[in-house]
Structure 1
């Protein structure tokens, strides 16, 4: 008698927990500020998660959560852009507009993980143009700009980073992406990724000194906010930055 594939949920949730614990051990610091012991423990957790996820993906090749998590483990284990892209492509075969997977691949193709800014902005633009109207995917454009903003800020200071965001082409792409996604009538305000998506746009406009354009996103957010990308601004405390910029934006917009 052939055995039916086992239910994937329990194993996938355990893998997810291992991954989250591993990233907490590693911390969000740049690699040069992470100790060898942290890296060793981090990789050990991710390898345990991988063993679980490999079996799940073999038994349930269409299972989105498992492939999404394998995109994350590929980056953490430094398997390279090509392998991470291969895993994302397997996810996209069954779920072509998976915002979580797209967000994770976007991280992988950033220069800090071995990619390039051309790849980052090109991927965000491609996903935004191909996504259905009202999809959160447009927020990838804001996320890409905030990642670029952080690198410019680290190398040239906050003023240079603000100048980057204010470039007319960047501003136009951000407005177009918002119109296609979170500001489109078809966007579901109760969608799982609504907070992440609106936060990305609100932060990008706030960092560029455009509080009036950030205001619609703050109104949609209410008292909810994601850690990223508010942690890239000012003090680095996401709650402080969110509250500060929201107060300014709602007063002006």
Structure 2
């Protein structure tokens, strides 16, 4: 039985049920206070996000210029979430039109900014004005990111963000496939690009459960043991769980076949001896922790919660409640008591 009912409407809606009466028991141990920290305690990243918030491009640019591949993509994504970045990147692009870095940041910010306009609500609850703003911002993102891709053909980052904009703009499966393939040609094991491909294949985006699960499993098995791509299996099962009515969802996720697949995926990826943590590894651990907790597998979930040391990621906990920290805390404490 889950500790929270998932949020109604999947991506939107309100927290429907709150906590469902699980006692913590005698074995509960006071743990590190959970927190949402996009830097995961990294002072260099904290400084970069501070410069982004202050609009200090002179200080931020060297940090981005020193990164490449997945690192640049991750940092650009983190900066793109900072409010107001769209203002100073416009000036930076105008001041140095030959520089691809501010253009990349502006494009990435316009993708994030577009989704802020749309909100996480189901499509039927998005207003006409929200849709208009959503598509206007995606149009800017598309133009800028395609220009970056043309100028810097070896860069992964524009192709990663172009996957998200293509899905939002409903550019179709051929464009989506082309952009995913462009990303993985530049970084074959790039987990974030694989996550975007998984979303594209979800039923809620016009795909199917069969295609989603097939992609997740083939990606995991096609990667060496210790690869983080095993997370895709857990994400696929959470997407399927999210699509089921109450009662059926828990029966599905806690069923023997699904539990076996989750265990295989975890011990082939994040819990494998060859797993090497890279920037943002906490997201994978949060995904598996939530999946195992909902599947009534507290012992395996504890391994993941312990490794996280209180670091919470918004996804996938936002599927349960508008307060990811609360959801993380309740599930972690419940698993610690079992």
Q: CA deviation at 1:8?
A: 2.6
Of 194, 197, 220, 2:307 maps to 220
Confirm or deny: 8 A CA contact 1:110 1:117 kept in the other structure.
yes
In the alignment, the residues of structure 2 paired with residue 36 and residue 136 of structure 1 have an alpha-carbon distance, to the nearest angstrom, of 39
Q: CA deviation at 1:118?
A: 0.5
Q: Relative contact order: is structure 1 or structure 2 higher (C-alpha 8 Å, sep ≥ 6)?
A: 2
In the alignment, the residues of structure 2 paired with residue 243 and residue 101 of structure 1 have an alpha-carbon distance, to the nearest angstrom, of 29
Partner of 1:228, secondary structure, is helix
Q: CA deviation at 1:236?
A: 4.3
Partner of 1:93, secondary structure, is helix
**Is residue 324 of structure 2 the alignment partner of residue 238 of structure 1?**
yes
Q: Which of the pair is proportionally richer in helix? A: 1
Confirm or deny: 8 A CA contact 1:70 1:87 kept in the other structure.
yes
Listed as ranges, the matches of 1:14-25 within 5 Å are 14-25=106-117
Confirm or deny: 8 A CA contact 1:166 1:208 kept in the other structure.
yes
**Is residue 164 of structure 2 the alignment partner of residue 72 of structure 1?**
yes
In the alignment, the residues of structure 1 paired with residue 276 and residue 335 of structure 2 have an alpha-carbon distance, to the nearest angstrom, of 23
Of 251, 254, 260, 1:166 maps to 254
Residue-by-residue CA offset, 1:38-62 (whole Å, 9 max, x unaligned): 0110111111011111111112222
In the alignment, the residues of structure 1 paired with residue 130 and residue 273 of structure 2 have an alpha-carbon distance, to the nearest angstrom, of 46
Residue 35 (structure 1) aligns with: 127
Residue 187 (structure 1) aligns with: 275
Q: CA deviation at 1:85?
A: 1.3
Of 199, 202, 205, 1:110 maps to 202
Listed as ranges, the matches of 1:56-135 within 5 Å are 56-135=148-227
Confirm or deny: 8 A CA contact 2:216 2:233 kept in the other structure.
yes
The verdict on how the C-alpha distance between 1:114 and 1:83 changes in structure 2, with shifts beyond 3 A counting, is same
Residue 205 (structure 1) aligns with: 292
In the alignment, the residues of structure 2 paired with residue 6 and residue 187 of structure 1 have an alpha-carbon distance, to the nearest angstrom, of 39
Aligned length: 242
In the alignment, the residues of structure 2 paired with residue 250 and residue 131 of structure 1 have an alpha-carbon distance, to the nearest angstrom, of 32
In the alignment, the residues of structure 1 paired with residue 98 and residue 336 of structure 2 have an alpha-carbon distance, to the nearest angstrom, of 51
Confirm or deny: 8 A CA contact 1:211 1:245 kept in the other structure.
no
The verdict on how the C-alpha distance between 1:166 and 1:120 changes in structure 2, with shifts beyond 3 A counting, is same
- Bigger radius of gyration among the two: 2
In the alignment, the residues of structure 2 paired with residue 27 and residue 247 of structure 1 have an alpha-carbon distance, to the nearest angstrom, of 30
Q: TM-score, normalised by structure 1?
A: 0.91
In the alignment, the residues of structure 1 paired with residue 280 and residue 208 of structure 2 have an alpha-carbon distance, to the nearest angstrom, of 25
Confirm or deny: 8 A CA contact 1:225 1:242 kept in the other structure.
yes
Of 263, 270, 289, 1:175 maps to 263
Q: Unaligned stretches of 5+ in structure 2? A: 1-96
Residue 148 (structure 1) aligns with: 240
Cα RMSD (Å):
1.4
